[in-house]
Amino acid sequence: MENKKVSQRILDHIAISFYCTIAYAVLLMIYLSLPLGAGSDFLLILFIACSLLLSIAAITFACKSYKNAKLSSLLLIIINSLGLSIPLLLLLLLST
């Protein structure tokens, strides 16, 4: 088998995408651990904005490295696409 070298830039993109995914997971755990009475509309909107930002950033950096690192990029894209559905569903529920 031939050794396929991946550039440092591609590894950085994958690492940034992974860090955004971890940050989103921590944000979700913190938001879900709040008591029901403590959550206000401001916290909900702040959670939606931050989760949208982190998910889109993670998907963007994973897409930048897709050409050279297909498997890890595809896994990160799928995980973050599923994570992106949570704030989109919350926005849909707020608008109705």
**How does pLDDT run across 33-80, given as a tens digit for each residue?**
877 676 677 788 888 889 999 999 999 999 998 888 889 999 999 999
Alpha helix segments (H runs only) across 1-96:
8-33, 41-64, 70-95
| Cα separation, 34 vs 76, whole angstroms | 27
Domain count, the chain: 1
pLDDT in tens, 82-96: 988 988 888 888 777
| Threshold 0.75, pTM exceeds | yes
Structural domain for 80, as ranges: 1-95
3: phi then psi, degrees, rounded to nearest 5 = -80, 120
> d(Cα 82, Cα 78) in Å, to the nearest integer?
6
Residue type, 70: K
